[in-house]
Amino acid sequence: MSRSIKYIQTDVNGAAEGQRRRVAIIGAGLVGSLAALNFARMGNDVHLYEYREDIRTAELVQGRSINLALSQRGRKALAAVGLEEQVLATAIPMRGRMLHNVRGRTSIVLYDPCTKQCLYSVGRKQLNEVLLNACDAFPNISCHFEHKLTTANIREGQMQFKVAHEEQLISTSADLVVGCDGAFSSLRQQLVRTPGFNYSQEYIATGYLELCIPAKNGEFQMPPNYLHIWPRDSFMMIALPNQDKSFTVTLSMPFEVFAQLKTHQQLLDFFRQHYMDALPLIGEEQLIKDFFKTRPQHLLSVKCKPYHFADKALILGDAAHAMVPYYGQGMNAGMEDVTLLTSILNEQLPLDEALAKFTESRWQDAFAICDLAMYNYVEMRDLTKRLSFRCRKWLDTTLFRLFPRQWVPLYNSVSFSSMPYSQCIANRQWQDRLLHKTLSFSLLASCLVAGAIYARRLR
Ligand SMILES: Cc1cc2nc3c(=O)[nH]c(=O)nc-3n(C[C@H](O)[C@H](O)[C@H](O)COP(=O)(O)OP(=O)(O)OC[C@H]3O[C@@H](n4cnc5c(N)ncnc54)[C@H](O)[C@@H]3O)c2cc1C
Ligand SMILES: *[C@@H]1O[C@H](CO)[C@@H](O)[C@H](O)[C@H]1NC(C)=O
Ligand SMILES: *[C@@H]1O[C@H](CO)[C@@H](O)[C@H](O)[C@H]1NC(C)=O
């Protein structure tokens, strides 16, 4: 597995010629494999260590491989390594939200009626495969699967890995250790112990579980080009289309509600009551099987700062800023980390300064998207049903249509632009102030009427 490793003398100060470093990347997920490509392109020797077996040859991926919404920030990062087209070729565009009410009626809220931008549903496994195949094409990236980081001495750049089927831990070292090892990052655990490192985590009381709406007669059972949402106050369900014409369904609800569904009958009654239209699509038997097969998963939000330690260690992606999944930005934000880092590293500053600059340029935006994701957790399950939300949405869309440059709605600036996340929030606050100040009562009233008509039409 682990090939013998050449040690390359590097210039500690890191300028020009000395740029060539031995970089260890922990985690070959979406962010780690993308980071590996970028470090290799900059001429470093990259070692990519992944706990799991190679996702490309792994026989069984537990559960169904989930799909993700890819938007502007992720696309931009993929484009930078020449992979955007390849990824989009098998992705499914989602032009808006399709809302399903309790009676099974649907209505559509387009993401961007003006410039027609959309989200793309991509399979996690397929995307990871594209990235890993690109890594294989680089002579200077070595992949080490089934290597689990157990301990690291970040001051010395020393790491120890547990290798599958082997008794003894293996030790290795690197000039720079980059943790892309996800929400429960082992490398972050080492950083937590360094003085001055701020860290907070929050579990929400909601868990999620994956279900599936299979293809029927080789066709999608619902319109494929939408992100389907069943908003139900304290809980909700969403579905994203897959390449094989199935949908991956994510049921999200408080753990206490999950706990109440103990028997097959209770589960079916619950679905008949809340997800009437989805039940026959999932199929009763399949629902029972999938629902009781696994426990609901926990969701976690993590904020920390700084993201680096001297010129020795760095964390990116979920390791640095795990968030609840309700804005569909976790992967996109993680990939944007890599875009930003690469542009800073290309400035050829001494490495410690470059890493410090990365933390300084990133933390506000990372905190902002964690907050936005938490906010959307409320919006998606609750507000999407409310008239005030639809009215605001309608106003946003109308103003966006009239002033496409000046008035970009929050969701659009987050998903379809590379505006820094913190600026997206500031922009929204500016819009709110302006609306409150300048909207006369008559305009508000007419908007309400129009909103009501619109909402009725959709119902
Ligand atoms: C239900 C759900 C839906 C989501 N939907 C979206 C979406 O629509 N759009 C979006 O942008 N984001 C979405 N996300 C977020 C997205 O999944 C994450 O932000 C993204 O996977 C982060 O990538 P990562 O590479 O940082 O971490 P991960 O994908 O978690 O990868 C970490 C890798 O590190 C490996 N690893 C862990 N520990 C070690 C160790 N000690 N040693 C070696 N390797 C290790 C793991 O095996 C894994 O391969 C969703 C998340 C969830 C839970
Ligand atoms: C890869 O590494 C070899 C030596 O290990 C070096 O000669 C070569 O220039 C490197 N390639 C790139 C693209 O950095
Ligand atoms: C950690 O948090 C404290 C209190 O909010 C703050 O004063 C300090 O600057 C933070 N440290 C870093 C590295 O951000």
Whole-angstrom CA distances from 393 to 107, 110, 111, 397, 405 are 14, 10, 10, 6, 17
- Shortest-distance Cα residue to atom 14 of ligand 3: 305
- Asked whether residue 15 is assigned to any structural domain, the reply reads no
Domain count of the fold of the chain: 2
Q: What is the pLDDT at residue 11?
A: 37
455, HSE (Cβ side, Cα atoms, 13 Å): 18
Where does a domain end: 345, 371, 397?
Answer: 371
- Asked whether residue 306 is assigned to any structural domain, the reply reads yes
Residue 326 sits in the same domain as residue 234: yes
Cross-strand pairs, 141: 46
- Asked whether residue 17 is assigned to any structural domain, the reply reads no
Contact between 222 and 212 under an 8 Å Cβ cutoff? The reply is: no
Tokens of 323: 């968030």
Residue 29 sits in the same domain as residue 165: yes
- Asked whether residue 377 is assigned to any structural domain, the reply reads no
- 318 contact partners, CB below 8 Å, separation of at least 6: 31, 182, 183, 185, 302, 330, 334
Write the pLDDT tens digit of every residue in 414-428: 999 999 999 999 999
Contact between 130 and 86 under an 8 Å Cβ cutoff? The reply is: yes
Give the Cα-Cα-Cα angle 444, 449, 450 (nearest 5 degrees).
Answer: 95
CA–CA separation, 34 and 83 (whole Å): 10
Q: Give the sheet arrangement for strand 45-49, strand by strand.
A: 141-144, 45-49, 22-26, 176-179, 313-315, 308-309
Cβ–ligand 3 distance for 139 under 6 Å, the answer no
Task: For residue 138, give the ligand 2 atom closest to its CA.
Answer: 13
- Asked whether residue 52 is assigned to any structural domain, the reply reads yes
Cβ–ligand 2 distance for 139 under 6 Å, the answer yes
Q: Evaluate if residue 395 carries a pLDDT over 90.
A: no
Residue 366 sits in the same domain as residue 438: no
Q: Which residue, chain included where needed, has tokens 């900059």?
A: 42
CATH of residue 281: 3.50.50.60
Q: Evaluate if residue 1 carries a pLDDT over 50.
A: no
- Shortest-distance Cα residue to atom 27 of ligand 1: 182
Mean pLDDT of the chain: 91
Residue 333 sits in the same domain as residue 424: no
Residue 325 sits in the same domain as residue 396: no
Q: What is the pLDDT at residue 16?
A: 42
Give me the domain span that covers residue 122.
Answer: 22-371
- Shortest-distance Cα residue to atom 4 of ligand 2: 140
Least confident of 414-423, 424-433, 434-443: 434-443
Where does a domain end: 340, 371, 402?
Answer: 371
Cβ–ligand 2 distance for 43 under 6 Å, the answer yes
Please give the distance of CA 156 from its chain centroid, rounded to a whole number: 32
Residue 424 sits in the same domain as residue 394: yes
Write the pLDDT tens digit of every residue in 21-37: 999 999 999 999 999 99
Residue 310 sits in the same domain as residue 450: no
CA–CA separation, 107 and 88 (whole Å): 26
Residue 37 sits in the same domain as residue 67: yes
CA–CA separation, 183 and 416 (whole Å): 25
Residue 290 sits in the same domain as residue 423: no
Q: Evaluate if residue 383 carries a pLDDT over 50.
A: yes
Which of 358, 359, 362, 375 lies closest to 323, judged by CA? 375
- Asked whether residue 382 is assigned to any structural domain, the reply reads no
| 8-state DSSP, 295 | P
Q: Evaluate if residue 232 carries a pLDDT over 80.
A: yes
Cβ–ligand 2 distance for 7 under 6 Å, the answer no
Question: What mean pLDDT do residues 392-413 have?
Answer: 87
Where does a domain end: 321, 336, 371?
Answer: 371
Q: How confident is the model at residue 64 (pLDDT cuts 50, 70, 90)?
A: very low
- Asked whether residue 8 is assigned to any structural domain, the reply reads no
Of all residues in the chain, the percent with pLDDT exceeding 90 is 76
Query: From the CA of 151, how far away is ligand 3's center (Å)?
Result: 26
Q: What is the pLDDT at residue 381?
A: 66
Write the pLDDT tens digit of every residue in 341-376: 999 999 999 999 999 999 999 999 999 999 999 988
Residue 367 sits in the same domain as residue 397: no
Cβ–ligand 3 distance for 308 under 6 Å, the answer no
| SS3 (DSSP) at 353 | helix
Cβ–ligand 2 distance for 104 under 6 Å, the answer no
Residue 135 sits in the same domain as residue 28: yes
Residue 367 sits in the same domain as residue 430: no
